[in-house]
């Protein structure tokens, strides 16, 4: 017998609502018939309790600090897989065979270069343009080159387009950086793998090759892998929202980049580094900074702390903290901001303000230090998050595209604006007259007649 939940409405009517159970025993009340049968909608500010879809891609248990891609614990993937293999897992549901891996690598390589006439668009941005603005605009522009018909005909075409998007966002990101520092844009190399190729395009110069260390490559691989998907977060929900209107993959991904940009989402990694730099430059102690956060009068938050879903710990932060220690040791970097980060973490983990609100370090807390150690400038941090999140967005776009029954995402609302008003001409409005339901009108104005016709400036 399927489970149901019973809802009693204010007028006494009782509705039986089906309960949906996920494969990890998550329970949801299906309200899809609610409005039709009762006239009611639900309201849930910030979607704190709303499941927007069923999805087979990523599972998170925030209470237990669990993150799995297609069933595999992220810790296992981090230990055993590359970012590219993980991307194939996310997009197609299974880890690739050696042949599938080779084929996809080939597609990534073949699609890594930007068309020559496309490259001139970079010159159209001012030098100070934020690379996230360049990234979102360029992904949209790239669609005209890579997917001019806007149609993906079959699986083979989808694989090519997915590889092109994953590969070219990396090239675009590096090109945006090179433009911002006034250096020549580097071409991708056909003999380098995904992460090395990105570092090459970021840091090589036409007259000098940059050869990344194994530690640097492995840290960046981990960074990308841990950002590859995170179920229905703000940017992924945006991608799904745009995709639900049957927008093409590039338009949906560009929208994801825009949503990711905010400081409460992907922009937090940049904000963490700015916070650590500020604490160091101001000479303020960690204790004083934490007191400022708790005081709340300045409205500042401890950036890199807290998460809507994780209430115990963020497993990505645990892996990144470890990688961060290893990388800084291997590179013999002594960044004082790491000490500040450690002190902040310790202070917060022992402070009742943070404990009672279940605020723990999230993925962004240590990632900024890793990226700084790799020489990535702070404005590029969120761009790197976007490169990492691309396979997740592609997987979610595909999930929508493959399900013809997907309805366009179109939430309802509870309207709280003015009730119906009578239209008044400008003369009447200037004289303060209002409709029968409006504000009080001074007595002397009530007899004022509006001119029959007015010639008003447009």
Q: Does 118 bind ligand CMC (CB under 6 A)?
A: no
DSSP secondary-structure letter at 154?
S
Euclidean distance between CA atoms 326 and 219, whole angstroms: 9
Find the largest Cα–Cα distance for the chain: 87
Question: Is the Cβ of residue 308 or residue 412 nearer to ligand CMC in the bound state?
Answer: 308
Smallest distance, Å, CB 182 to ligand CMC? 32
**Residue nearer to ligand CMC on the CB measure, 21 or 264:** 264
| Three-state secondary structure call for residue 120 | helix
Stretch that binds ligand CMC, among 81-89, 216-224, 362-370, 373-381 (CB under 6 A): 362-370
Collapsing DSSP to helix, strand or coil, 72 comes out as strand
Q: Which stretch binds ligand CMC (CB under 6 A): 77-85, 186-194, 240-248, 357-365?
A: 357-365
Residue 357 engages ligand CMC in binding (rule: CB under 6 A): yes
For residues 161 and 320, which CB has a smaller minimum distance to ligand CMC in the complex? Answer: 320
Q: Degrees (nearest 5) of the Cα angle 216, 217, 222?
A: 100
Q: Is 230 in the site for ligand CMC (CB under 6 A)?
A: yes
> Where does residue 305 rank: exposed (0-12), middle (13-18), buried (19+ CB within 10 A)?
buried
CB nearer to ligand CMC: give 147 or 260: 260
Find the binder of ligand CMC among 307, 389, 396, 398 (CB under 6 A).
307
Q: Is 265 in the site for ligand CMC (CB under 6 A)?
A: yes
Query: Given the complex with ligand CMC, which of 104 and 305 has the nearer CB atom?
Result: 305
Q: What's the min distance (Å) between Cβ of 362 and ligand CMC? A: 4
Report the C-alpha gap between 237 and 440 in whole angstroms.
45
**CB neighbour list of residue 376: distance below 8 Å, 6 or more residues apart:** 202, 384
Whole-angstrom Cα distance, residue 163 to residue 191?
Answer: 17
**By C-alpha distance, which of 219, 229, 223 is closest to 390?**
229
- Two structure tokens written together for 224: 């990308």
Work out whether 301 is an interface residue with ligand CMC (CB under 6 A): yes
In sequence order, what DSSP letters do the residues of 382-420 get, joined into one string? HHHHHHHHHHHHHHHHHHHHT-TTPPPP-------S---
268 sits near ligand CMC (criterion: CB under 6 A)? yes
Query: Could you say whether residue 347 binds ligand CMC (CB under 6 A)?
Result: no
Active-site pick, 307, 314, 322, 435: 307
Would you please indicate which residues are annotated as catalytic (active-site) residues?
307, 364
List residues binding ligand CMC (CB under 6 A): 46, 230, 233, 264-266, 268, 293, 301-308, 357, 359, 362-364
């Amino acid at each position: 017998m399927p489970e149901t939940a019973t809802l009693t409405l204010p007028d006494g009517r009782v509705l039986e609502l089906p309960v949906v159970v996920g494969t990890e025993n998550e329970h949801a009340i299906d309200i899809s018939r609610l409005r039709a049968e009762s006239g009611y909608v639900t309201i849930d500010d910030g979607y704190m309790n709303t499941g927007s879809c069923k999805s087979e891609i990523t599972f998170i248990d925030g209470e237990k600090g669990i993150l799995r891609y297609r069933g595999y614990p992220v810790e296992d993937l981090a230990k055993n897989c590359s970012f590219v293999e993980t991307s194939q897992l996310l997009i197609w549901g299974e880890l690739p065979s050696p042949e599938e891996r080779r084929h996809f690598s080939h597609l990534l390589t073949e699609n890594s270069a930007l068309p020559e006439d496309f490259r001139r668009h970079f010159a159209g941005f001012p030098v100070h343009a934020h690379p996230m603005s360049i990234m979102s605009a360029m992904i949209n522009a790239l669609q005209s080159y890579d997917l001019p018909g806007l149609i993906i005909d079959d699986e083979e075409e989808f694989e090519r387009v997915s590889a092109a998007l994953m590969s070219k966002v990396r090239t675009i990101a590096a090109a945006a950086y090179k433009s911002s520092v006034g250096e020549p844009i580097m071409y991708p190399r056909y003999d380098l793998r995904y992460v090395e190729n990105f570092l090459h395009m970021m840091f090589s110069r036409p007259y000098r090759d940059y050869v990344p260390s194994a530690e640097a490559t492995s840290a960046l691989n981990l960074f990308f892998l841990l950002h590859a998907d995170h179920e229905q977060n703000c940017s992924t929900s945006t991608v799904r929202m745009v995709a639900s209107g049957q927008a093409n993959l590039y338009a949906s991904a560009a929208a994801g980049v825009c949503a990711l940009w905010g400081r409460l989402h992907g922009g937090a990694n940049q904000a963490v580094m700015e916070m650590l730099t500020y604490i160091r430059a101001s000479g303020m102690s960690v204790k004083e900074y934490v007191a400022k956060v708790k005081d709340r009068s300045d409205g500042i938050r401890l950036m890199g702390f807290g998460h809507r879903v994780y209430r115990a710990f963020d497993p990505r932060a645990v892996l990144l903290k470890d990688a961060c220690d290893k990388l800084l040791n291997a590179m013999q970097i002594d960044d004082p901001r790491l000490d500040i980060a450690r002190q902040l973490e310790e202070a917060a983990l022992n402070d009742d303000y943070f404990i009672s609100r279940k605020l723990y370090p999230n993925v962004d807390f240590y990632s900024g230090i890793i990226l700084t150690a790799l020489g990535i400038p702070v404005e590029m941090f969120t761009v790197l998050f976007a490169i990492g999140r691309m396979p997740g967005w592609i997987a979610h776009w595909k999930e929508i595209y493959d399900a013809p029954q997907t309805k366009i995402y179109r939430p309802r609302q509870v309207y709280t604006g003015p009730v119906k008003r009578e239209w008044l001409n400008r003369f009447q409005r200037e004289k303060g007259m209002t409709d029968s339901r409006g504000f009080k009108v001074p007595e002397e104005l009530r007899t004022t007649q509006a001119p029959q016709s007015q010639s008003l400036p447009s």
